[in-house]
A and B are shown apart, each in its own frame.
Chain A
């Protein structure tokens, strides 16, 4: 293989794919990135067996081929190269020679054959959606993904496509977030899958670097999902398992409905939460006529209280929440006003924005 590339473009590509490079691995090949030539381009790929990232960049190809090179080292080298372009050549035994102006590097690569095969998808079954919609849906659900490995089906975002609607749901067993949008897919297309949190994190990192008006094409095959945006493809294994029946736990009715300014509720909760203890985090919300008193108290530390005027005129009641759960929702809801739907101090509370098909369910605490 012999190629010549632009330093800047190669660096960008390396930056993208390095997210799936393992830093320490029992399988040394996983610390490498693979470089493969196509007609006028090269494909950079990395994988940690769960998650793979590939990025296609332009290059001049004098001799086609493929090799794998220690990823972090190559990234560091390319950044320090003296000129804007460099040549890369693979000689026998995967010896890699990299030259730029007068600088010459010789690197020990490994054969392409040792590199895990990254699943390929046929474009025919894919569907696409706007990058900002995908980003928003993930942002509004990712915070309630579980990290409890004993309930592994909750350690990811559940995604379903049915009747032209895409839904994303996540729950850690204590709270849940749900979002739904229409997309242009075949109405008969039906999918149900769980995207692991690691993939979500990497996908978001990459989406944030892209422009707004881009289409992301999504494809699913067996237990793999791929997201393709411009020249970048992320492939991840899916979580194998049955996501709980979330519809069942979303309350259908409520006794109390309150609309509040998001900012007011957020700031007040934050202010008061300072006086809730780390170990038994809870903030009390006391509803009485026209007012909502938010308070927290910790033994040996002290207490805090604040008040909001609200349009409430039911019977007085109190309910406790982990303030983090409330803050997470309000930080991400992206709406000036929110509606709280409550029944009593034992039942979950639903938070909705003023518009859009989004909701968050939060279970109370017994204080």
Chain B
């Protein structure tokens, strides 16, 4: 018997399914792309249990002819390309002819289809390795695909699926991308009968579509961009720098209507904004690129999520320059809302400070070690407890604020020299510790609102909010649902007072939770995610760099620092203060 044998079709299909069908969202993606390729103007997606139990995608597209119905179920059967040359000019979303057989091989698969000009439709049923059964049936024009018990015969895959909520989130994100790329179609997503997204009206403009999906706050803060040359046409919308996010979740790229991930484009966006955005803040972009199919290769990954440009440099430059051109034109920079906390640091100034610090350190090292001289800059080496005791003494004794520099740093005098305090970092530390202890003791009090605030959320974040409503309530937010993706804030944490933007805070918190794909506050202690949320809250609630402080406010800050268990660094690890001892001052002025 020969050792090397051809694999059976069934095995081939399953291997292929492994590549194309990772999770329920992949199924939805393949089916949606088929629907779009079929010219549908109305697509409805229904899922149950995150898509693991049931996925149903129905469209009003052209349907499949009788003689094609069974062929469609075979591997590499496609109507979209016919010869090798066509591969270089792919215009449709799907083309590999792998989707249907792959899906069918790992699920209980059903299809009902009727071309518009036929009187009867056909129903096909297929499950795992069984042969398809074909039956005549009456049905609406178009195609409906029903996928049940996904991965029922590949338990290994099933085991790797995340929670239903996570799978739903993946599907929501995917439908969102499709909805963005085709604002002309009516699309909706339902889970277990409840609406998650849409139905979005037909024939929306791209901007209307963005507004329906992400709310008017986003839509009102967009700058339209448009640019083209002989090869590329770029259009879309980018957020004004004042509206930015802690991650790149709001960056959408579409190449010839196909939603793609691209580090290249992500980098180009970052470069286009340049110093308009602070470190680790991301703009939101909705960029639609049309490019001749010859110049891209979509066939490098089975899910077609990634794409290769034949001339990457040209593409990069084109995007950077387009963004820069429009950002400059719009004079988007001087909006007052832009939070100065995120101001890009003045590099020259930073350099000077760093120089001074390193100078200071080397001097300290080489000179005689007096016990009174402490190197506050090299925190790692601290024995915190001992340091704290001594430090508190110096603080409580005589630490007096003297002045504020650049509305950012506070100069204070201690019993043993001079302190330079970063006001934002210091307040962050103080607030962080206060919030943590209030939360730990279940002591966050909540102020009810006489006039509630409206909150519009993108659908992904809306789901996260719903899943974590308990946690937010513990945080002092009382939020109730008010129509689709729209919420009402009835009560807010009392500790922030009037000076913060609660909507921004909530949306930052939700973004963080969605990034880590978890549930917050599920464990009794303070896990990493909850901790991250405290950091966001602390940052938002704190005095910003650039805020003018009165003497009383400076004194309050020092008092607050004094109560902290780790007063030397902010929750993100930056130092809150630099110290220069009297001894050191004397040395520098050559008195000693």
Q: Interface of A with B (CB < 8 Å)?
A: 146-151, 154, 171-176, 244, 249, 279-282, 299, 320, 322, 346, 348, 361, 363-367
13 pairs from A and B in contact (CB 8 Å cutoff): A148-B499, A150-B502, A151-B453, A174-B448, A174-B449, A176-B451, A244-B451, A249-B450, A280-B438, A280-B443, A365-B445, A365-B494, A366-B476
Contact A282 B494 (CB under 8 A): yes
Chain A residues lying within 8 Å of B444, measured Cβ to Cβ, are 280
Contact A366 B478 (CB under 8 A): yes
Give B504's nearest chain A residue, CB to CB: A150
**Known contacts A147-B499, A280-B443, A280-B494, A365 near B451 by CB under 8 Å:** no
- How many whole Å from B537's CB to the nearest CB in chain A? 12
A146 to B450, CA, bound (A): 13
- How many whole Å from A149's CB to the nearest CB in chain B? 8
**Known contacts A279-B434, A279-B438, A366-B478, A147 near B447 by CB under 8 Å:** no
B441 at the interface (CB under 8 A from A): yes
Chain B residues lying within 8 Å of A171, measured Cβ to Cβ, are 450-451
Chain A residues lying within 8 Å of B499, measured Cβ to Cβ, are 147-148
Set A148, A176, A320: member contacting B445, Cβ < 8 A? A320
A313 to B81, CA, bound (A): 85
- How many whole Å from A142's CB to the nearest CB in chain B? 14
**Known contacts A279-B495, A280-B495, A322 near B453 by CB under 8 Å:** no
Set B450, B494, B495: member contacting A348, Cβ < 8 A? B450
Number of A-B contacts (CB under 8 A): 72
Chain B residues lying within 8 Å of A299, measured Cβ to Cβ, are 437, 441, 443
Give A324's nearest chain B residue, CB to CB: B497
Contact A173 B478 (CB under 8 A): no
Interface centre among A150, A244, A282, A364 (most CB of B within 10 A): A150
- How many whole Å from B155's CB to the nearest CB in chain A? 47
For residues 456 through 509 of chain B, which have their beta carbon under 8 Å from a beta carbon of chain A? 476, 478, 491, 494-495, 498-499, 501-504
A147 to B496, CA, bound (A): 13
Set A151, A244, A322: member contacting B494, Cβ < 8 A? A322
Set A146, A148, A366: member contacting B491, Cβ < 8 A? A366
Contact A173 B445 (CB under 8 A): no
A174 to B453, CA, bound (A): 11
**Known contacts A280-B443, A299-B441, A365 near B498 by CB under 8 Å:** no
A147 to B497, CA, bound (A): 10
Give A175's nearest chain B residue, CB to CB: B450
B446 at the interface (CB under 8 A from A): yes
Contact A361 B450 (CB under 8 A): yes
Give A280's nearest chain B residue, CB to CB: B445
**Known contacts A150-B503, A172-B498, A282-B494, A363 near B441 by CB under 8 Å:** no
Set A148, A149, A363: member contacting B447, Cβ < 8 A? A363
For residues 497 through 523 of chain B, which have their beta carbon under 8 Å from a beta carbon of chain A? 498-499, 501-504
Contact A150 B501 (CB under 8 A): yes
- How many whole Å from A367's CB to the nearest CB in chain B? 5
Q: Interface of B with A (CB < 8 Å)?
A: 337, 434, 437-438, 441, 443-453, 476, 478, 491, 494-495, 498-499, 501-504
- How many whole Å from A240's CB to the nearest CB in chain B? 16
**Known contacts A279-B434, A299-B443, A176 near B494 by CB under 8 Å:** no
Contact B451 A346 (CB under 8 A): no
Chain A residues lying within 8 Å of B491, measured Cβ to Cβ, are 366
Contact B453 A173 (CB under 8 A): yes
Contact A365 B443 (CB under 8 A): no
Interface of A is mostly: loop
Chain B residues lying within 8 Å of A348, measured Cβ to Cβ, are 448, 450
Chain B residues lying within 8 Å of A322, measured Cβ to Cβ, are 447, 494
A175 to B451, CA, bound (A): 9
Give B491's nearest chain A residue, CB to CB: A366
- How many whole Å from A181's CB to the nearest CB in chain B? 23
A1 to B508, CA, bound (A): 59
Chain A residues lying within 8 Å of B437, measured Cβ to Cβ, are 299
A320 to B444, CA, bound (A): 13
Chain B residues lying within 8 Å of A148, measured Cβ to Cβ, are 498-499, 501
- How many whole Å from A272's CB to the nearest CB in chain B? 15
Chain B residues lying within 8 Å of A280, measured Cβ to Cβ, are 438, 443-445, 494-495
Give B495's nearest chain A residue, CB to CB: A279
Contact A282 B498 (CB under 8 A): no
A363 to B489, CA, bound (A): 14
A171 to B499, CA, bound (A): 15
Chain A residues lying within 8 Å of B478, measured Cβ to Cβ, are 366
A169 to B499, CA, bound (A): 21
Chain A residues lying within 8 Å of B502, measured Cβ to Cβ, are 150
Chain B residues lying within 8 Å of A176, measured Cβ to Cβ, are 450-451
Chain B residues lying within 8 Å of A174, measured Cβ to Cβ, are 447-450
Chain A residues lying within 8 Å of B498, measured Cβ to Cβ, are 146-148, 172
- How many whole Å from A133's CB to the nearest CB in chain B? 26
A280 to B541, CA, bound (A): 14
Contact B448 A366 (CB under 8 A): yes
Chain A residues lying within 8 Å of B447, measured Cβ to Cβ, are 174, 322, 363, 365
A274 to B447, CA, bound (A): 19
- How many whole Å from B437's CB to the nearest CB in chain A? 8
A175 to B504, CA, bound (A): 22
Contact B448 A346 (CB under 8 A): yes
Chain B residues lying within 8 Å of A363, measured Cβ to Cβ, are 447-450
Chain A residues lying within 8 Å of B476, measured Cβ to Cβ, are 366
A358 to B483, CA, bound (A): 36
- How many whole Å from B575's CB to the nearest CB in chain A? 24
Chain A residues lying within 8 Å of B453, measured Cβ to Cβ, are 151, 173
Give A146's nearest chain B residue, CB to CB: B498
A149 to B446, CA, bound (A): 21
Chain A residues lying within 8 Å of B438, measured Cβ to Cβ, are 279-280
Chain B residues lying within 8 Å of A172, measured Cβ to Cβ, are 498
Contact B443 A282 (CB under 8 A): no
Contact A249 B445 (CB under 8 A): no
* Top 10 A-B pairs, shortest CB-CB distance: A363-B448, A279-B495, A366-B446, A280-B445, A173-B451, A150-B501, A147-B498, A363-B450, A282-B445, A148-B498
- How many whole Å from B31's CB to the nearest CB in chain A? 42
- How many whole Å from B496's CB to the nearest CB in chain A? 9
A282 to B445, CA, bound (A): 8
Chain A residues lying within 8 Å of B501, measured Cβ to Cβ, are 148, 150
A251 to B476, CA, bound (A): 24
Give A250's nearest chain B residue, CB to CB: B450
Set B448, B450, B452, B503: member contacting A365, Cβ < 8 A? B448
Contact A173 B494 (CB under 8 A): no
A57 to B449, CA, bound (A): 48
Contact A249 B451 (CB under 8 A): yes
- How many whole Å from B544's CB to the nearest CB in chain A? 13
Give B444's nearest chain A residue, CB to CB: A280
- How many whole Å from B430's CB to the nearest CB in chain A? 10
Contact B503 A173 (CB under 8 A): no
A278 to B294, CA, bound (A): 65
- How many whole Å from B275's CB to the nearest CB in chain A? 21
Given A146-B498, A147-B499, A366-B478, 13 more A-B residue pairs with CB atoms under 8 Å apart are A151-B453, A154-B451, A171-B450, A173-B450, A175-B450, A176-B450, A281-B494, A361-B450, A365-B445, A365-B446, A365-B494, A366-B445, A366-B448
Give B502's nearest chain A residue, CB to CB: A150
A88 to B337, CA, bound (A): 44
